[in-house]
């Protein structure tokens, strides 16, 4: 693994703060992540933010194929050079924004679910997590590096300050565990906080399913967009725009106190409320 700072200097490049570029600069950390991810020889990997290949190269030595997605076109030449120098031929580089990539198409092309891996930019981490949850039927698992604060939000329990939309989505459709903590000093440039690597195994975690999953997430968005308000007021807000009496009646019908706040509800509570409102014809 060539030092990211040396590669950037050789190509007259600088890390782009606006793109959240913090390159993993420690070979042992990269190998630890790949090993603990459980990656197998028949896996096809979709890598989010290939950067300069810190994870790409060790993954390619194990997996059948790697789709290395990198948005920054200036990194494609040095990334290509690193891959060629390593003698690896099972890597397909995609110069693309991951948020515009249809994961279903890639999975269908490969005729198997994808393993998603990557050191993802902090500024789009939440959007990527939502994208993965919505595409999960085409995914086997995901192993992703998040800045510590966001990782803690994904794993937060009801009743805590960090509990919100991401924790709800994770609790509904995935089992999440920490597989590594990577200190800030092991990146170039050094970020302000440490990172946590999460392994996300997709699969239903609740006994009751949402009749309409997008509607469930719409209710969650409405509730948490006004998290300091009572649920009655939050559901009457700009997302759902319910009449206050309707909001109250629907909450009571779902056996939820209208005076509670969003962070006190479990995943099961939100699913029950979503199904109750859907059955009442509310969309």
Q: Residue 123: what pLDDT?
A: 84
Q: Residue 30: what pLDDT?
A: 97
Predicted TM-score (pTM) of the model is 0.91
Say if CB 150 and CB 121 are below 8 A apart. no
202: closest CA among 177, 173, 178, 168?
173
Q: Which domains does the chain have, with CATH numbers?
A: 4-202 (3.40.50.150), 213-279 (1.10.8.100)
pLDDT in tens, the chain (283 residues): 789 999 999 999 999 988 989 999 999 999 999 999 999 999 999 999 999 999 999 999 999 999 999 999 999 999 999 999 999 999 999 999 999 999 999 999 999 999 999 998 888 988 999 899 989 999 999 999 999 999 999 999 999 999 999 999 999 999 999 999 999 999 999 999 999 999 999 887 777 899 999 999 999 999 999 999 999 999 999 999 999 999 999 999 999 999 999 999 999 999 999 999 999 999 8
């Amino acid at each position: 693994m060539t030092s990211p700072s040396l590669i950037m200097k050789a190509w007259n490049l600088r890390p782009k703060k606006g793109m959240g570029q913090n390159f993993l600069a420690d070979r042992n950390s990269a190998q630890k992540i790949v090993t603990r991810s459980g990656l197998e020889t028949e896996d096809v990997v979709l890598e989010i933010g290939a950067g300069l290949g810190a994870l790409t190269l060790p993954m390619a030595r194990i997996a059948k194929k790697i789709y290395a997605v990198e948005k920054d076109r200036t990194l494609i030449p040095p990334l290509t050079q690193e891959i060629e120098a390593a003698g690896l031929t099972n890597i397909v580089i995609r110069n693309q924004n991951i948020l515009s990539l249809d994961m279903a198409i890639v999975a269908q092309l490969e005729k198997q679910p994808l393993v998603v891996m990557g050191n993802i930019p902090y500024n789009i981490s939440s959007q990527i997590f939502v994208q993965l949850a919505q595409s999960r039927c085409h995914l086997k698992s995901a192993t992703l590096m998040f800045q510590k604060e966001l990782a803690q939000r994904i794993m937060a329990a009801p009743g805590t300050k960090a509990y919100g939309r991401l924790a709800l989505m994770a609790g509904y459709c995935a089992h999440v565990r920490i597989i590594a903590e990577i200190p800030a000093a092991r990146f170039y440039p050094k970020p302000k906080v440490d990172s946590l690597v999460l392994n996300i195994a997709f699969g239903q975690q609740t006994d009751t399913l949402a009749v309409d999953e997008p509607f469930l997430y719409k209710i969650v968005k409405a509730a948490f967009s006004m998290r300091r308000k009572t649920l009655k007021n939050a559901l009457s807000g700009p997302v759902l725009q319910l009449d206050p009496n309707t909001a109250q009646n629907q909450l009571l019908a779902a056996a939820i106190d209208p005076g509670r706040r969003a962070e006190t509800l479990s995943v099961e509570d939100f699913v029950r409320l979503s199904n109750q409102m859907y059955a009442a014809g509310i969309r």
